[in-house]
Amino acid sequence: MNRIEIKYIIESIMFAYGEPITIKELNSVIDEELSPKEIEIMLNSLIEEYRENKRGIQIIKLENKYQMCTNKDYADYIKKVLEPKKRKSLSQATLETLTIIAYKQPITKVEIESIRGVKCDKVLQTLLDHDLIREAGRLNKIGKPIIYKTTPEFLKLLQIESLKDLPPIDSFESEDESI
């Protein structure tokens, strides 16, 4: 197989798989002796081809994974075809909780409630239902509390590549607050 064929195999895998995939996972399915760097070069080539040609699909990077998705420039046309889902907007309490999780993760429900000063069972369930957070295991202490982290869906919603792209937490503090 030549390099062009391999690049198109990568494209096919990403289209069929639909979920975010790592370079390591792509490398393990291709029988050729390619380094992860070569796979990354091919992915970046595909990304650039889609961008230059203003294609209807694009490849995005989410932390250390890549995913094929539709080009946001054509979202209005896609919305006309797909039946729109009625999603309720997130409440202030839900947004506050999501922000706490994003900046403090991994974090337990008790830690969130300690910061917010109120119970958060329903809010956590809403965030789980919207796939914005996930259960990321349990702490090895009394009660084995669940720890929560944000998901790739959270990154997609904010249109950022990783949590490092979040604004610094101190940019939200008001001038009269002191820590």
Is residue 16 domain-shared with residue 38, that is, in the same domain? yes
CATH number for 161: 1.10.10.10
pLDDT band at 149 (very low <50, low <70, confident <90, very high): very high
Query: What is the pLDDT averaged over residues 138-143?
Result: 90
pLDDT surpasses 80 at 178: no
Residue 28 lies in a domain: yes
Percent of the chain's residues with pLDDT above 90: 59
pLDDT tens track for 151-177: 999 998 888 889 998 988 877 665 445
Whether 27 and 70 share a structural domain: yes
Q: Residue 152: inside a domain, yes or no?
A: yes
Are residues 54 and 21 both part of a single domain?
yes
* H/E element, 111: helix 109-116
- Output the pLDDT for position 128: 94
Mean pLDDT across 76-86: 74
Q: Which domain holds residue 104?
A: 92-172
- Do 130 and 166 lie in one domain? The reply is yes
Is residue 98 located within the same domain as residue 160?
Answer: yes
What is the number of domains present in the chain? 2
Whether residue 177 is contained in a domain is answered as no
Q: Judge if 118 and 148 occupy the same domain.
A: yes
For residue 87, being part of any structural domain is answered with: no
- Are 155 and 161 contacting, i.e. CB atoms less than 8 angstroms apart? yes
- The C-alpha atoms of residue 79 and residue 8 are separated, in whole angstroms, by 28
Q: Which of 4-18, 83-97, 121-135 has the lowest mean pLDDT?
A: 83-97
Of residues 32 and 42, which shows the higher confidence score? 42
- Residue 98, φ and ψ in degrees, nearest 5: -60, -40
